[in-house]
Structure 1
Amino acid sequence: MTHAPIATLSSRAQRWAIGLTEQKSITGTDGEAAFGPWLAAHLREQAAFQDAEVWTIEVKPQDGRHSVAMLLRGSGRSTVLLTGHYDTVGTSDYGQLEHLATRPDALTKALRDSLVLAKAPAAVLAHEDFAGGEFVAGRGLLDMKAGLAAGLAVCAEFAESAKPVGNLLFIAVPDEENNSAGARKAAQILPGLCEERDLDLLAVINLDAIADDGDGSKGRVIALGIVGKLLPAAWVVGVPTHSGFPLNGPNAGAIAAAIAARIEWAPELTDACGTAPGTPPSLLGIADGKTRYDVTTPGTAHATFNVLSYRRTPDEVLDRFDSLCAEAASNLLREFRHRVSAQHETGLLEMVQLIPVHRYETLLARIDQSERTRFEGVSASIAAGDQPLPEKCRLLTEQAWELSRLAGPAIVTGFGSIPYLPTNLSAQPAAVRLRAAAIDVANEAAARYGNVVTCADYFAGISDMSFFGEADESSLDIVARNTPAWKDAVRWPPKRALANIPTINIGPWGRDYHTPLERLHVGYSFTVLPRLIRDVCARLLQPDAS
């Protein structure tokens, strides 16, 4: 792999980043569906890629979305995969500047001018960044089209090398901002793809963005693993009553609120990473089951939580979640009794000594065989709808509860979305080589690129690394049993759903992605990042590394 002048690598990364950003690809829209074919056609038009094999991979029949794959052949079978997602979150949050959301130069100028009198700390910092000329704004520029652009710049340089060693495989996927359907499909087909094309896939480099509100030291990072994410859910059944007689039964909304208060930032669900503090759990959504206004207290409520883990398995997370739900309900009942006693009131509340916690799988086991067919039909119908996964899981829990013939009050726990498992580099030879290559390149970064780059054990965000990297798929059994939409909506393959390839993340850094202040650090992302990716690939593909 030859080292072209840095201006060429940098200018290519910049050109691709702006071009990709200008092509809208919001998750779930026609733009996302159109992006894959557009990118494939655009790659085929590039002079550097005339000898490359470019094709699209349909997410699933009739889905309309495609991953885009490009294979650049050199010598031998050794191959490195560069991958990242091209879908973005929406643009309505830009308000009057929405028409500029995917036009980086114009948006940067407009934001810089509009933030002159800003007082909020985040806005003040954004204005300073734009005024200093080191940052460029744009929806999806940071998350994560600049990462894809850096990968394409490396691919172009590889393709133009006189005698490239090894092979580069590039795959851009949709749907990361939703359910990672693109990455999950790509991970499933990788073994067959490599067999068909006689490739030995050594490693995966994910190109996702890292946020840093400081001096960039936390953004200039090569991540050797990724944190996992689960979405524990609590569906609560109360005893609905006329609001004039609230003591006749516990309110489902109040129980859900008590659970939310107990779990928010709970240390019991905070998984530390070595000596570094972990990310605490946080409430992502809470709502009662009422669909109209009346004076009856809510009969049901539903709450979902973001729980990140480094080493904990899903069964350990759910065990802790169940315990905290039970504790929250017990404490709430104790407080209710204290308040009733203080007022010398009586009511049906005194009959409720315990609010039991059931898992979703318990409900399923109680459904009579004669009702099973009807439930499966309802499940398929709900799965075919366009609601987000957490809502589908809520609806299915509600249906299972009715057929279980259990009585409230009660709490039903489970999971509300697909799992993102944590990954880290194992002790297998390919992973050891990848770790060594990443560390060596990071250690040389200050001298070679003028930037200090560090290696971190984990990428703190959620990304498609979970499906490409070395994850423990055996831990998914409890998730499958307790995710209501698993069979009909998630459709996780029973075998080989994860690629299980040594995977790291090398991506751009910037600030405030998923907000109107999303911005990319230009110097690092266009100049340093492509060189990091190129040099890690070169170390992996050189003959003595195979």
Structure 2
Amino acid sequence: MKGKWSTKDELINLLKQLTTVESVVGTSKEVEMGEKIEQLLGEIEYFKEYQDKVYRIPVKNDHWNRFNVAAIYEGDPNDQKAYVLLSHFDVVGIDDFGQYKHIAFDSDRYTKQMQQLEDVSPEVAADIESREWLFGRGVMDMKAGLAIQMAVLADAIEQKKKVNLILLSTPDEERNSEGMLAAIEWLACLKESKQYQHIIGLCSEPSFTSFPGDTAKYIYTGSVGKMLPLVCAVGKETHVGEPLAGVNASWMISEVVSEMELSERFFEQSKDELVPPPTVLRLSDLKYEYNVQTPTFAYATFNVLTYTKTAQEVLTEVKKVAEECGEKMDQRLEKRYQRYYVKQKNPPISVYTYGQLKEKGIALYGQTFLDQLESISKRVYQNGGDTRDVTIALAKEVGDYFIELAPFYLVTLAPPYYPAVRLNAQEPFEARLLEEVGELQKWTEERFGEVITQKDYFPGLSDVSYGKIEDGLSVKQTLEKEMPTLSNGYDLPLDAMQKLQMPTVNIGPFGKDAHKRTERLHVPFFTDIAPQMLIRFIDQMTKK
């Protein structure tokens, strides 16, 4: 590499400048991080001359006034391709660092502290002993990737390469991807105004270990999708002295949690990659005081990851789970009725989607019903709730309107929604990207002796999910019906995603233990190999 941050020491120093900023997601420090990136880019001579090539893309309606940072180097105005060097600059919190939280963002001090610890796993101990690893929050996920991309941008500028590069670094990736959701519309407009035929995403998220002890390095040609189904149980109240006279909502939801947790129903496989099974993320009832009435409303949200399943398919499968749980509970109740000589039985447990009950509400109550839902949304947001809180509150309100139908399950979707994306070998340009990934693997092994494995899906969720979308109309129809906060606090730029259609390849550093106190970066791969891989990929694509 040439230009600013071209040496190993300069690249490491750049990373340390980035990690020093405590840019925990959902805090004002993300603003400080954006300003730091702007300052560092301003040290490149090109951007000193062309200050208007560095942009702030604000996050919409943001409490902290956070913004994306973008920088454009237009090395070949006649080329119909541009490459987006995509990263995020937020990090997760540091509660897991315990007594060492005060040095979590000082990678030198924290690495020295780790070298003195004895209560670590053998794998961590071996990495500490090697002296090849840098520890600290954000060093792996993903400020090392950002540092590499800034150095690659500076290298292209210094060498006056005939290539169009767009550095884009976002806040909030670790929470709702609000930065990327705002940036997508900007990118779509840029593609149109510059008349680019292709905008190619080059993300530099680190290689994630696929299993404990995994030492492989990966190139990812896509990213896993995610949905957050919400299942609500609307029970029939009763006194604890007469438990069979009602149906306990907490029991109802526990049955669904038991069936959904690590369920094989959502199994998907791509080559040797298996989508992680679903897991419960939030579980509660809404009974806040003690009394001897059984809970009437309980809910759970589930993390469901996808490769090819659509939003409608996931929703349909979750609804089927609820239906089967209801049938099992009805059978169990029938046995209890017989054992305890109960003659007055509860009705069977039904299952509805939010969209179904909303349609019923509009038909029966008209605008009054819609006004009440809007009032609920405003109140929850004003009290500091997020889109998931609003989804739960709206589901509760709709359930209350139809309490005479109890007991029943209500199934809906809460934000965020991440589409699964991957390169499509049947599409000519994306097939070309896949071909070049294969050539890069060969080159890296020949030049550095490093075996790089290609995977279809990045497993850790990423902003690249919003770069493109397939069958956007179908997705839009499902979400408009079944995601209560879509365009009600949660803005998903589906039209811009459809216009952008940005295929993405992930070429990044190697690290371990993202989101853990042992988060660490392999320094030799970071300084010597990953930047060269990214440069090689861009150069080869530019030649063809």
Q: Say which SS state the counterpart of residue 45 (structure 1) adopts.
A: coil
TM superposition shift of 1:522: 1.8
| 2-structure distance, mates of 1:315, 1:67 | 32
Question: Helix, strand or coil for the counterpart of 2:302?
Answer: strand
TM-score, length of structure 2 as denominator length: 0.92
Shift of 1:424: 1.4
Return closer, same or farther for 1:34/1:404 CA change in 2, 3 Å cut-off. farther
Q: Deviations over 1:457-498 (max 9, x none)?
A: 221221111101454423322123111211211123462245
What amino acid does structure 2 have at the position aligned with 1:183? M
Tell which deviates more after alignment, 222-231 or 71-80. Answer: 71-80
1:454 alignment partner, SS class: strand
Letter in 1 for 2:482: N
Pair 1:309-2:306 in alignment: yes
C-alpha deviation, 1:291, in angstroms: 1.5
Q: Look up the match of 1:8.
A: 6
Superposed CA deviations along residues 157-198 of structure 1, whole A, max 9, x for unmatched, are: 11111x311111100001111111111111112121234456
| Aligned equivalents of 1:381, 1:4: Cα separation in 2 | 55
**Closer/same/farther in 2, CA of residues 257 and 386 from structure 1, 3 Å limit:** same
2:177 is aligned to: 180
CA distance in 2 between counterparts of 1:275 and 1:164 reads 38
Tell me if structure 1 keeps the 8 A contact 2:282–2:300.
yes
* Alpha-carbon distance in 2 for matches of 1:27, 1:194: 29
Note if 1:79 corresponds to 2:98: no
2:346 pairs with 1:345: no
Q: 1:433: which partner in 2?
A: 432
Deviation of the 1:515 alpha carbon:
1.6
Amino acid at match of 2:331: R
1:36-51 equivalences in 2 (<5 Å): 36-47=34-45, 49-51=47-49
Deviation at 1:331, TM superposition (A): 1.4
Alignment of 1:29 with 2:20, yes or no, is: no
- SS of the aligned residue for 1:419 comes to strand
Query: 2: CA distance between counterparts of 1:215 and 1:538?
Result: 34
Q: CA deviation at 1:214?
A: 5.2
Residue 521 of structure 1, CA deviation: 1.8
Kept after mapping to 2: 8 A contact 1:423/1:466? yes
Residue 257 of structure 2 aligns with an amino acid whose one-letter code is: A
Structure 2 partner of 1:479:
479
In structure 2, C-alpha distance between the alignment counterparts of 1:494 and 1:405, rounded to whole Å: 35
Q: Which deviates more, 74-83 or 270-279? A: 270-279
For residue 292 of structure 2, what is the aligned residue in structure 1? Answer: 295
Instruction: Tell me the distance in 2 between the aligned counterparts of 1:50 and 1:448.
Output: 36
Alpha carbons of structure 1 residues 48 and 528: separation in structure 2 relative to 1, 3 Å:
farther
What residue in structure 1 maps to residue 95 of structure 2?
Answer: 92
Contact 1:24 1:31 in 2 (8 A): yes
Shift of 1:103: 0.8
**CA displacement at 1:228 relative to structure 2:** 0.9
Total equivalences in the alignment? 531
- Aligned counterparts of 1:494 and 1:228: Cα–Cα separation in 2: 15
- The residue aligned with 2:366 is 369
Which has the larger displacement, 43-52 or 395-404? 43-52
- 1:498-537 matches, cutoff 5 A: 499-537=500-538
**Structure 2 spans left out of the alignment, 5+ residues:** none
Mind listing any 5+ residue stretches in structure 1 that lack a counterpart?
none
CA 1:132–1:365 in structure 2 vs 1: closer, same or farther (change >3 Å)?
A: same
Q: AA paired with 2:135?
A: A
- Name segments (4+ residues, structure 1) moved above 6 Å: none
Distance change >3 Å, CA 250–CA 15, structure 1 → 2 = same
How far, CA to CA, are the matches of 1:195 and 1:277 in structure 2? Answer: 37
Correspondent of 1:421 among 389, 399, 419? 419
Contact 1:59 1:65 in 2 (8 A): yes
In 2, Cα distance between the equivalents of 1:296 and 1:267? 36
Q: Describe the superposition over 1:42-100 as per-residue Cα deviations: whole angstroms up to 9, x where unpaired.
A: 31123464355212111125540100001122123332111111111111221210001
Indicate the SS of the match to 1:293: coil
Q: Is the 8 A contact 2:188 2:496 kept in 1?
A: no
Conserved 8 A contact 1:430-1:502: no
Aligned residues of 2:89 and 2:170 also touching (Cα < 8 A)? yes
- Do residues 539 (structure 1) and 540 (structure 2) align? yes
Instruction: Indicate conservation of the 8 Å contact 2:5/2:151, yes or no.
Output: no
- Give the letter for the 1:531 counterpart: Q
| Same amino acid, percent of matched pairs | 27
- TM value normalised by structure 1: 0.91
The one-letter code sitting in structure 2 at the alignment partner of 1:102 is F
Residue 240 to residue 456, structure 1, CA distance change in 2 (3 Å): same
Using the alignment, how far apart are the partners of 2:106 and 2:346 within structure 1? Answer: 59
Q: Which residue of 2 aligns with 1:222?
A: 219
RMSD: 2.3
Cα pair distance change 1:280/1:216, threshold 3 Å: closer
- Give matches, 1:328-339, under 5 Å: 328-339=325-336
Partner of 2:354: 360
Q: Residue in 2 aligned with 1:58? A: 58
Provide the C-alpha distance between the structure 2 equivalents of 1:5 and 1:197, rounded to a whole number of angstroms: 27
Deviations 1:491-546 (A, max 9, x none): 2346224531111212223222112121122222232111111111112222xx2x
Instruction: Find the aligned partners of 2:100 and 2:485 in 1 and give their Cα distance.
Output: 38
**Counterpart residue number, 2:259:** 262
SS at match of 1:159: helix
The answer for the alignment partner of 2:70 in structure 1 is 69
CA–CA distance in 1 between the matches of 2:244 and 2:481?
36
Distance 2:525 2:360 in 1: 57
Task: Note if contact 2:20-2:105 (Cα within 8 Å) is conserved in structure 1.
Answer: yes
Question: Alpha carbons of 1:28 and 1:473: their partners in 2 closer, same or farther (altered >3 Å)?
Answer: same
Q: What is aligned with 1:246? A: 243
Equivalence for 1:496: 496
Selected match of 1:393 from 368, 388, 391: 391
Mapped to 1, the partners of 2:367 and 2:473 lie a distance apart of 32
On the 8 A contact 1:271/1:308 being kept in 2, the answer is: no
Letter in 1 for 2:312: D
Q: Is the 8 A contact 1:203 1:430 kept in 2?
A: no
Distance 2:516 2:449 in 1: 30
Which one-letter code corresponds to 1:505 in the other structure?
Answer: N
Q: Distance in 2 between matches of 1:29 and 1:7?
A: 29
**Number of the residue aligned with 1:451:** 450
Shift of 1:347: 4.2
AA of the residue aligned to 1:159 = I
Letter in 2 for 1:354: P
Structure 1 pair 507–352 and aligned structure 2 pair: CA distance change class (3 A): farther
1:451 deviates by 1.0
Instruction: Decide whether the 8 Å contact of 2:468 with 2:501 is kept in 1.
Output: yes
- Against the structure 1 CA distance between its residues 158 and 541, is the aligned structure 2 distance closer, same or farther, given a 3 Å change threshold? same
Measure, in 2, the Cα distance between the counterparts of 1:533 and 1:386. 42
